[in-house]
Amino acid sequence: MTERLVAIAIDDTGLPRPTPEMEQERRVAIVDLLEENCFTLPPHPDRTAAPPWKLNLSVRDRRLVFAVTSESGEPAGEFHMSTGPFRQVVKDYFQICQSYYDAVRTLPPSQIETIDMARRGIHNEGARVLQERLAGKAELDQDTARRLFTLICVLQFGG
């Protein structure tokens, strides 16, 4: 399948350094994304670039920037999104992740499982928001959206 991402770069210049836990989340999300993803750009009359795609994620002027190129580097599209719609779900995700990391160290498995279920629910909500914000610009499946949401979290509040 060619409608996919084959490379992901994150430009976190000027942003707080991610915590070790979030750095690990970032690494896992990128490995999982590159292993399996579905990322489709709708046809555009001016686009000559063809998939597979490379993605560069960054934050500029408090906006998320998705810069997409072909594998050879030909520009395919750049999408700018306000961070506002993500702010609360990202904050909730960070709080539940911190609870999860703390629980892993101190609580029994049954309590960890409950926190993990809540974490997955918030993660799914973030993926849904991302899919809505990218509507008409890019189509992605649920798993791809979840992993990209993880990368957005690290970019927005990784420190």
The residue ranking higher by pLDDT, 141 or 16, is: 141
pLDDT band per the 50, 70, 90 thresholds, residue 132: very high
CA-angle at 56, arms to 50 and 58, nearest 5°: 145
Pairwise CA distance, residues 93 & 127, whole Å: 11
Two structure tokens written together for 131: 């899919």
Pick the closest to residue 112 from 122, 97, 127 (CA basis): 97
- pLDDT in the model for residue 64: 92
Q: Is the pLDDT of residue 101 over 90?
A: no
Pick the closest to residue 140 from 60, 108, 132 (CA basis): 132
Q: Is the pLDDT of residue 140 over 50?
A: yes
Contact predicate 153/94, CB 8 Å? yes
